[in-house]
Structure 1
Amino acid sequence: MTSTEAHDTASSTAVGAHLRSAAERDASPQFVLPLVVRIERAAPPARTDALETAARAVLVLLSDARATGDGEWAAAVRDWQDARIRKVVRRARGAEWRRAEALPGITVTGDHAEVRVHPPVPLDGWPKDLARLQVSGTELDDPEPPSAPPAGNPVLWLNPGVTMSAGKTMAQAGHGAQLAWWELSAPERAAWRDAGFPLSVRTAPADAWDGLTRGGLPVVHDAGFTEIAPGPTVVAEGGDPFCPLPGGRRP
Structure 2
Amino acid sequence: MSSQHTHPPADVPAVGADSPFRQGRLPRDEAPQFVLPLVVRIEKAEPPARTDALETAARAVLVLLADERARDGGEWAEAVRDWQDARIRKVVRRARGAEWRKACALPGITVDGGTAQVRVFPPVPLDGWPKELAKLQVSGTDLDDPAPVPAATAGVPVLWLNPDLEMSAGKTMAQAGHAAQLAWWDLTAAERAAWQDSGFRLEVRTAAPDQWPALTTGGLPVVRDAGFTEIAPGSATVVADHPSLRSRL
1:8 corresponds to: 3
For 2:160, the aligned partner's letter is: W
Assess if the C-alpha contact under 8 Å between 1:32 and 1:87 holds in 2. Answer: yes
2:62 corresponds to: 59
Deviation at 1:12, TM superposition (A): 2.6
User: What is the CA deviation profile of residues 89-110 of structure 1, one whole-angstrom value per residue up to 9, with x for unaligned ones?
Assistant: 0000000000000000000001
Q: What secondary structure is seen at the aligned counterpart in 1 of 2:29?
A: helix
Normalised to the residue count of structure 2, the TM-score between the two structures is 0.91
The answer on 1:238 being equivalent to 2:238 is no
The answer on 1:83 being equivalent to 2:86 is yes
Assess if the C-alpha contact under 8 Å between 1:56 and 1:177 holds in 2. Answer: yes
Assess if the C-alpha contact under 8 Å between 2:5 and 2:224 holds in 1. Answer: yes
User: Gapped runs of 5+ residues in structure 2?
Assistant: none
Give the % identical residues. 71
Deviation at 1:194, TM superposition (A): 1.1
User: What is the CA deviation profile of residues 43-77 of structure 1, one whole-angstrom value per residue up to 9, with x for unaligned ones?
Assistant: 00000000000000000000000000100000000
1:36 corresponds to: 39
1:119 corresponds to: 122
Q: What is the alpha-carbon distance in structure 2 between the residues aligned to residue 245 and residue 114 of structure 1?
A: 28
1:73 corresponds to: 76
For 1:210, the aligned partner's letter is: P
User: What is the CA deviation profile of residues 190-240 of structure 1, one whole-angstrom value per residue up to 9, with x for unaligned ones?
Assistant: 11101100000000000010000010000000011100002100001113x
Deviation at 1:27, TM superposition (A): 1.2
Normalised to the residue count of structure 1, the TM-score between the two structures is 0.91
Assess if the C-alpha contact under 8 Å between 2:103 and 2:132 holds in 1. Answer: yes
For 2:188, the aligned partner's letter is: S
Q: For the structure 1 residues 56 and 248, does the alpha-carbon distance in structure 2 shift closer, same or farther, using more than 3 Å as the test?
A: farther
For 1:12, the aligned partner's letter is: H
Q: What secondary structure is seen at the aligned counterpart in 2 of 1:10?
A: coil
Q: What is the alpha-carbon distance in structure 1 between the residues aligned to residue 183 and residue 99 of structure 2?
A: 32
Deviation at 1:246, TM superposition (A): 2.8
Q: What is the alpha-carbon distance in structure 2 between the residues aligned to residue 7 and residue 36 of structure 1?
A: 13
What root-mean-square deviation, in Å, do the aligned CA atoms of Structure 1 and Structure 2 show? 1.8
Assess if the C-alpha contact under 8 Å between 1:13 and 1:219 holds in 2. Answer: no
Q: Which runs of 4+ in 1 moved over 4 A?
A: 13-20
2:164 corresponds to: 161
Deviation at 1:145, TM superposition (A): 2.0
